[in-house]
Amino acid sequence: MAKAVYQDSSRKVSERVEDLLSRMTVEEKIGQMCQAPADKPGAEDALAKGFGSFLTVYGEKAAKLQETALKSRLGIPLIFGIDAIHGHNFYFGATVFPTQLGLSSSWNPALMETVGRVTAKEMAVTGVHWTFSPVLCIARDLRWGRIDETFGEDAYLIGELACGMIRGYQGHSWSDENAVLACAKHYAGYSEGEGARDASEAWHTERRMRLTFLPAFEAAARGACATFMVAYEAIDGTPCSANPWLLKTVLRDEWGFRGFAVTDWNNVGYMVSLQHTAATIADAAKIAIEAGNDMIMNTAAFFEAGVALVKEGKVDVALVDEAVRRILTFKFELGLFDGKRRGDKSKEREVIATQEHRAASLEAAYQSIVLLTNRDSALPIGKAPKRIAAIGPNADDVKAQLGDWVHNDGQPRENVVTILDGIRKRAGKGCEVVYARGCDTIDPSTEGIAEAADAAAKADVAIVVVGDTVAYTGEGRDRANLDLSGGQQRLVEAVRAAAKKMVVVLVNSKPLSIPWLVEHADAIIEAWNPGMEGGTAVAGIIFGDRAPSGKLTISFPYHVGQQPVYYNQMPGWHSNAKYVDMPKEPLFAFGYGLSYTTFAYSNLRVADARLKSGQPLCVSVDVTNTGKRAGTEIAQLYVQDLVTSATMPVKELKGFERFDLAAGEKRTLSYEVPYDRLAIVDRDAKRVVEPGEFEVMVGGSSRDEDLLKVKFEVAG
């Protein structure tokens, strides 16, 4: 018998999609819009109903599900998705990179592309087609539990880093057997719910959405990200999955997005059970279809409700066809109908956590580390001392080091270099390394602190590794207190009293309020959750094998009561411009980070001090390494429109460059800022470049004292 058009790989994808759509029943169409978790009860029932996608599955289990799906009436294959957030980390033994917040401290889109590429290769060999990554949420209220999943507090930087990661995941063509679908999430405004409570109501105006929450997603859409995940929360009363302005007007009509949108976990069901914006699942299903959702994650009842709505004429089948068309297009593009993308268990050992991939994780960890303080050049310690005391609950804690979104069992212990492992290996045989855990990150007990203080007193240097724990981070794990938890504050105080020199390493998922440490530690290293090779990288920084090069993408507060302290605040705080009991400024600012050398900026100039309409801003600046060793600098360019028709931030990042300089070397950097990047969002929520005076600022952080400034004018 002749093949049907949809079965003929020589035909155009569009022809195959339309042919298959014409053959499908209502049940088969609605089934394609449904996604079920493969690791929860009900997976077999979902498969029997013809669900089009499963999540949290790979390897042999995925292969069996696919085999069953291909035996259905039309043989429509499944698409498998997984939360590969900073590596294919639900696979036991995969390459684990630093968490996304840590990665962002590199300010390196090319590194993000490498991370995405490695992750995609490890996913593809296990038969997974789609990662629910990257996260494009903006992180400005640190109480929120999912800060570690973000690229920090600046929308422009988030978009640049996200697009790098998307390129890594998706490759240059869907014919690439290692390409996987990326997913921009959580669309949109999810990170600033009321009180930083996960998925709670968000009070965002359209202007605030366009100014703060949408720009990074626009970059992803225009960068051809294949899928978007719709956020949980309601914005000013309307759940995101019920919002046609968000899903149709902006995403598709304005940005030209041609991929498909998937709800987050049970968004449709939550309209009934949590948000109470629909009385029944049928009402919620109708709202979701008409709003523009294409795939419904983990709302099993959507299937029956959707079928009934179409058959009863309550939902136009054309809307269902649009959604299914988008989903099927990617199934054809990926070759799922042509026997491709099945995974290959025999090659998993050749691909998963190879030396090349581990080396990429190590490089990512090095670039993610930020040196926060270094009193009297306490670091690097150079020649190994005779005795080191490695102290603290996170010095040898695999789960804390790997962070969130990792296999429940962590990863094989032999695959992970903890900070204790790294220090022992780097110190060598001539140095005794004594380990004392000291305390717990949750239990406030003081048992063990005296032992740790004694070890510190007998050592030449105490390296204290503190921070937080995976129990205090992640979805649904919001915090009200940002201080060191458990017994950690008492531990560092006891060690400080006993130690000759105290170096603190932070292993944490978000900035913590640590003014005491800043005052008392000889040096502080921010390692974030540095991944499987984190211990090697931290030890390398401590001993001076590499100079630290990371810079913060998120501001540190003195106290949780300062929230929020992001750099690009709106003007207008009363003339006192500070709290009566605390500084206005953050403890550490966006863009800040030290090196083992120093850099000087000079000769900032603009090519044209008066820009015509449409003319880009061209800026040059000289940067000199004024220290005695090579280093890496991240130069940042900010702009402020000095008088605007609606309030705008005091400065906004518009460009950056990461580069290496030898000792004594000078380099001239040149930036070209597109004209439309000078736009404000006006009172009507429109982007417009207003004529008038502007100021451009370039330097090593967002702090005014670190920036050179020059004014220019926009004429028209």
Handedness of CA 155, 157, 161, 164 (dihedral sign): positive
Q: Judge contact between 43 and 55, C-beta under 8 A.
A: no
Tokens read off for 608: 């044209």
Query: What letters, b where the CB count within 10 A reaches 16 and e where it falls short, cover 234-269?
Result: bbeebbbbbbeebbbebbbeebebebbbbbbbbbbb
CB of 164 closer than 8 Å to CB of 585: no
Catalytic residues: 264
* Kind and range of the H or E run holding 421: helix 419-427
Query: How does DSSP classify residue 506?
Result: E
Nearest to 302 by CA among 319, 329, 284, 277: 284
Q: How far apart are CA 68 and CA 353, in angstroms?
A: 30
Residues linked to residue 638 through DSSP beta bridges, in sequence order = 653, 697
d(CA 183, CA 623): 38
Nearest to 443 by CA among 493, 508, 490: 490
Contact of 41 with 309, CB cutoff 8 Å? no
Nearest C-alpha neighbor of 381 from the set 604, 539, 514, 551: 539
**Contact assessment for residue 669 and residue 635, using Cβ atoms and an 8 Å cutoff:** yes
What's the CA gap between 32 and 26, in Å, rounded? 10
With CA atoms as reference, report the closest residue to 585 among 641, 505, 650: 650
**Distance (Å, rounded) from C-alpha 257 to C-alpha 226?**
9
Peptide bond into 444 cis (omega under 30): no
DSSP label at residue 135: B
Strand partners of residue 696: 639, 710
Rounded to an integer, what distance in angstroms lies between the CA atom of residue 278 and that of residue 186?
Answer: 22
Q: What are phi and psi of 713, to 5 degrees?
A: -125, 140
Tell me the β-bridge partners of 697.
638, 709
Residues in a beta bridge with 135: 185
Q: Measured between alpha carbons, how far is 156 from 407 in angstroms, rounded to an integer? A: 31
Stretch (H or E) spanning 370: strand 370-374
DSSP string over 636-694: EEEEEESS-SS---S-EEEEEEEEEE-TT-EEEEEEEE-GGGG-EE-TTS-EEPPPEEE
Q: How many Å apart are CA 632 and CA 547, to the nearest integer?
A: 8
- Order of strands across the sheet that contains 183-187: 183-187, 227-230, 260-263
Written in H, E and C, the secondary structure of 42-71 is CHHHHHHCCCCEEECCCHHHHHHHHHHHCC
Size of the chain in residues? 716
| Cross-sheet strand order for the sheet of 617-625 | 599-606, 617-625, 666-673
Could you count the other beta carbons within 10 Å of the beta carbon of residue 178? 18
- Measured CA to CA, the distance from residue 273 to residue 675 in angstroms comes to 47
Q: How many CB atoms lie within 10 A of CB 161?
A: 29
Cis peptide before 188 (omega within 30 of 0): yes
Classify the C-alpha dihedral 578-579-581-587 as positive or negative.
negative
